[in-house]
Amino acid sequence: MHQEKSSITVKPLEAVAVTVVLLAGMGIGIIKLQLVPHIPVVLAIFFLLIYGLLKKVKMSDLERGMADGAKNGLGAVMVFFFIGMLISSWMAGGTIPTFIYLAFELVSGKWFYAIVFVVTAAVGIGIGSSLTTAATIGAAFMAVAGALGLSPAITAGAIVSGAFFGDKMSPLSDTTTLASATAKVDLFDHIKNMAWTTVPAFVLSFILFLFLSPASLDASFESISLVKEELVALNLVHWYSLLPFAVLAVLAIKRVPAVITLGSGTLSALTISLWITDRNEWAALPAVLFSGYKAETDVQEVAALLSRGGIESMLFSVSLVLLALSMGGLLFRLGILPALLEALMSGVQKTAVLFSSAAASAIGINVLLGEQYLSIVLTGNAFEQRFINAGLHPKNLSRVLEDSGTVVNPLVPWSVCGVFLTAVLGVPTAEYALFSFFCLASPLLTIAAGLTGFSVTKLDR
């Protein structure tokens, strides 16, 4: 985390007490009272400011802590903006409408959730980005689920599970690269070692989604046909509208930076939109990048499916992410996070305790800071030497970082991924989290590996 040292030192017990108060307050506000998440987070920041002032910390130090925390989100903010533009351009260019049309053609209600899980997992591996997968293919599947009358929460859970499986196991993923680099492990050794926990989590998730999928479908296929016909009538279904996805996939495989990749996908879709839009409406096309695409149709289902995207649609998410990361900066500056990490590591020697403590650290940082990269980096740096001293190969640590860091972030309502996924899928984090079986199973399996010793690799002495 890009932070200066803490302004004060607090005892672990005090840090735990402050953390419990914070989490309880935010949990009650978001889950029980169903407040807009910004409000509980702002109140938590105010609580931490009062706490810091009572501890004789200068206001300038507290402000600097908030600013340092927010700086860590600037990269995510730029990605959010570019994905917002990608979604609106893919609507205007027919890319997402074509995906929706093909999904209607190929997918029935039978085994629906399992198919969603497998397809998003495959796409996630191919492009190496969980958020991009959810915002594109995931949005298409959410549209299909709505038309078929299927559960949006389970569908979103399947999308999130598949997208984060792909993100976790793809050599193109930034979190996969970060985890292996933090633990100083070869990238492909890291991926192979993750299979010990990831494959069982995948199989378990697939079985659960298969079980939840309806055996028969009560939805009206007349409404589905109406949606398909309207998509064609709007001139949004073309084979060449899928070319922006090919551009995105190729650039991702070549490991081109995310902003360039997303920007190229956006420009290619806008180019196609010129081909399928009347010349008189060309001047209005760039505006969709900010305000989002608005479908001009009398069919309400289609209007609801297609009217989305744009930078403006990301502002809610961006504001919440910056607030949450500012709160994280305060937690670091006030010495609360360092005290919690110190408490976790004290007396840690045995394999089972090491695995559990590292997993708890990655999960806790996700909950407190809402940032998956920091959960990987901070936990990796804190536990690297502990694993080596215990005679454990660093690839054990890199696996724990992914199992308990990468895939937990989308389960936290105020996290970077949680906020984004709620915005693009239209399902509250607390609802889809219950069905994100892969994300729930991964940390449990990595802790079980530490307890049993199964798949734990020792260092060659």
Q: Where are the domains of the chain?
A: 74-314+339-461
Q: Report DSSP letters for 32-55, one per residue.
A: IS---THHHHHHHHHHHHHHHHHT
215-224 average pLDDT score: 59
Does the pLDDT of residue 234 top 60, yes or no? yes
Burial of 384 from C-beta contacts in 10 A (0-12 / 13-18 / 19+):
middle
**What span, in angstroms and rounded, lies between the C-alpha atoms of 122 and 124?**
5
Q: Which of 240, 239, 228 is nearest to 302 (CA)?
A: 228
CA 174, 180, 184 angle in degrees (round to 5)?
A: 140
Is there a contact between 300 and 277 (Cβ–Cβ < 8 Å)? Answer: no
Does the pLDDT of residue 3 top 70, yes or no? no
Dihedral sign (CA 130, 132, 134, 137): negative
- Per-residue confidence (pLDDT) for residue 1, from 0 to 100: 44
Burial of 78 from C-beta contacts in 10 A (0-12 / 13-18 / 19+):
middle
CA 246, 407, 210 angle in degrees (round to 5)?
A: 75
Place of tokens 């079985």: 207
**CA contacts within 13 A on the Cβ side of 146:** 19
Does the pLDDT of residue 69 top 60, yes or no? yes
Is there a contact between 109 and 342 (Cβ–Cβ < 8 Å)? Answer: no
pLDDT digits (tens, 9 = 90+) for 341-372: 777 666 556 778 889 888 988 998 888 777 78
Q: Which of 105, 98, 103, 207 is nearest to 145 (CA)?
A: 103
**What span, in angstroms and rounded, lies between the C-alpha atoms of 301 and 185?**
49
Q: Which of 232, 238, 235, 226 is nearest to 299 (CA)?
A: 226
Q: Which of 461, 366, 341, 443 is nearest to 399 (CA)?
A: 443
Place of tokens 């994100």: 436
Q: Report DSSP letters for 277-343, one per residue.
A: S-GGGGGGGGGHHHH-B----S-HHHHHHHSB-SGGGGHHHHHHHHHHHHHHHHHHHTTHHHHHHHH
Residue 278 backbone dihedrals phi, psi, to 5 degrees? -60, 140
Residue type (1 letter), 315 = L
Residue type (1 letter), 338 = P
CA 360, 361, 364 angle in degrees (round to 5)?
A: 80
* Strand, helix or coil for residue 203: helix
**What span, in angstroms and rounded, lies between the C-alpha atoms of 175 and 178?**
5
Percent of the chain whose predicted confidence (pLDDT) is above 70:
92
**What span, in angstroms and rounded, lies between the C-alpha atoms of 30 and 186?**
40
Residue type (1 letter), 329 = G
pLDDT confidence bin for 2, thresholds 50/70/90 = very low
Q: Identify which has the larger pLDDT, 437 or 284.
A: 437
Percent of the chain whose predicted confidence (pLDDT) is above 90:
23
Tally DSSP H helices, then E strands, for the chain. 24, 0
**What span, in angstroms and rounded, lies between the C-alpha atoms of 193 and 396?**
8
* Strand, helix or coil for residue 92: helix
**What span, in angstroms and rounded, lies between the C-alpha atoms of 69 and 154?**
33
User: How many other C-beta atoms can be found within 10 angstroms of the C-beta atom of residue 134?
Assistant: 29
26-31 average pLDDT score: 76
Tell me the range of 102-111, 405-414, 451-460 where mean pLDDT is highest.
Answer: 405-414
Is there a contact between 213 and 110 (Cβ–Cβ < 8 Å)? Answer: yes
0.75 cut: is pTM over it?
Answer: no
The separation between CA 40 and the C-alpha centre of its own chain, rounded to angstroms, equals: 21
pLDDT confidence bin for 317, thresholds 50/70/90 = confident
Q: What is the separation, in whole angstroms, between the first and last Cα of the chain? A: 33
